[in-house]
Amino acid sequence: GILSEFYNKFIRIGKDGSVFSNLYLYYAEEIKNFEVYDDDVWVISYPKTGATWTQEMVWMIANNLDFEGSKIPLKERFPFLEMSVLMERMKMYENKNVSVQVCDASSIEFARQVPRPRFIKTHLPFSLLPQQIQNGTRTPKLVWVIRNPKDTCVSYYHHGTLLMTWRVCLENFAKVFMADKSHYGSYWGHFWSYWNRRHLPNLLVNKYEDMKADLPSTIKVVAKFLNKEISEEQVHLLCNHLSFQSMKKNPAVNFEDRIARIRSMNLIVKDKAFIRSGTVAKYKEELSPETIAKFDEWIKQNIAGTEVENEYIF
Ligand code: A3P
């Protein structure tokens, strides 16, 4: 069916083990040559590691807690650079006369023209970023989000079956994920591409698990990185705004509209939400003991003898 047509067109791109539909090739030059500004702020993440939460935090801090402005959908305030690359599935449904609103304009064009200072989201590994970032001729602020791979995988599975009409069970998806064959491909390829550059002065590592453990401290670190003053009172207000409960009911960030659209097309939508569980180590309740053991072995192999061997998130 539609899904196998789609997967057959997946290809591996670049040296960090990324996987995309071949539509990526259509946009590759545009992304490579994308003009970057020093006053941009980029949020970079492997899918499902907490980009949305981080984006909302970054945007609010950079915009002096503009609660009114934050009602504009996050996707407009904070464009997703390579969104167009992911739109092929939607275009295929459109061809099959399923009525669906498609973003016709290129997401790259949209990101190019938003007013500066721009806020840009991407899931690309370092080697696929615009050249000006790679060669250091432009030094925008880069906030890189990481999360433990087991929760990331489970979250990705729910995202796929909620928003991308995947028909796969979690145990099989975990195999796909560990084989670097999920959309965007290699978790570790993405990881090392930034970890090896974590000392760049314009790169901040933001751990999902740190945000969960101590949001006020994370907010202060990010404010410092963005050269912003923030009072204790503001930190308190922002913590409320960023809480799981308040993000869950915030239509500007919870992708309600997209879920409703998929529901209206009668494609599979589970009784779930984008802001789903928001916890650490929830994978223990969802993955089988065998899969957890495989995951632990996979993680061990990938971090053995490296500096992250003692990182608590793995
Ligand atoms: P779960 O599926 O584990 O719940 P991304 O934005 O990169 O797609 O990441 C989505 C994950 O971040 C989801 O994880 C989602 O619930 C979680 N998330 C979003 N907002 C959150 C918040 N305010 N607090 C905790 N987790 C949040």
Q: Which residue has the higher pLDDT, 253 or 96?
A: 253
Residues within a 6 A CB radius of ligand 1: 45, 48-53, 151, 155, 158, 242, 244, 247, 275-278
pLDDT, position 267: 72
Q: Which CATH homologous superfamily contains domain 2-310?
A: P-loop containing nucleotide triphosphate hydrolases (3.40.50.300)
CB atoms within 10 A of CB 43: 27
d(CA 71, CA 114): 17
pLDDT at 91 over 70: no
For the record, the structure tokens of 266 come out as: 């009668």
* 40-67 average pLDDT score: 98
- Atom 26, ligand 1: residue with shortest CA distance: 278
Among residues 53, 50, 41, 54, which one has the least CA distance to residue 81?
Answer: 41
Mutating to test ligand 1, I would choose from 276, 277, 285 the residue with most ligand atoms within 8 A of its C-beta, which is 276
H or E, element range at 21: strand 18-21
- pLDDT, position 90: 53
- Predicted local confidence at residue 6, as pLDDT: 46
pLDDT at position 208 = 98
User: In this predicted model, what pLDDT tens digit does every residue of 130-174 receive, in sequence order?
Assistant: 999 999 999 999 999 999 999 999 999 999 988 887 888 999 999
45, 46, 48, 83, best to mutate for ligand 1 pocket (most atoms within 8 Å of CB): 48
Q: Would you place residue 88 in the very low, low, confident or very high pLDDT band (cuts 50, 70, 90)? A: low
The percent of residues in the chain predicted with pLDDT above 90, rounded, is 76
The pLDDT score that the predictor gives to residue 165 is 77
The atom of ligand 1 lying closest to the CA of 54 is: 6
Nearest CA, atom 17, ligand 1: 278
Pick the most confident of 109-113, 165-169, 308-312: 109-113
| Reported ipTM exceeds the 0.95 cut | yes
Instruction: Kindly give the distance from the C-alpha atom of residue 275 to the centroid of ligand 1, in angstroms, as a whole number.
Output: 5
Report which protein residue has its CA nearest ligand 1's atom 23.
244
Given the CA of residue 244, which atom of ligand 1 is nearest to it?
23
Question: Which atom, in ligand 1's list, is nearest to the CA of 242?
Answer: 23
Distance 53 CA to ligand 1 centre (A): 6
For residue range 214-258, what is the model confidence (pLDDT) as tens digits? 999 999 999 999 999 999 999 999 999 999 999 999 999 998 888
Q: Is the peptide bond before 117 cis (omega within 30 degrees of 0)?
A: yes
Give the pLDDT score at 98: 39
Residue with tokens 């996050």: 74
Distance CA 309, CA 314 (A): 8
DSSP code per residue over 251-307: TTTS-HHHHHHHHHTT----S--SS----SSTHHHHS-HHHHHHHHHHHHHHHTTSG
For the cut 60, the answer to whether the pLDDT of residue 8 exceeds it is no
Q: Return mean pLDDT, the chain.
A: 91
CA of 276 to the centre of ligand 1 (A): 7
49 alpha carbon to ligand 1 midpoint, in Å? 7
Active-site residue, 123 included: yes
Nearest CA to 296 among 153, 172, 156, 161? 153
Asked if 206 contacts 144 with a C-beta cutoff of 8 angstroms, the reply is yes
- Give the type of residue at 171: E
Cα(239)–Cα(128) distance, integer angstroms: 33
C-alpha of residue 162 to centroid of ligand 1, in Å? 14
Contact (Cβ atoms closer than 8 angstroms) between residue 41 and residue 62: yes
Residue 51 pLDDT level (bands cut at 50, 70, 90): very high
Q: Specify the residue for token string 């995951």.
A: 295
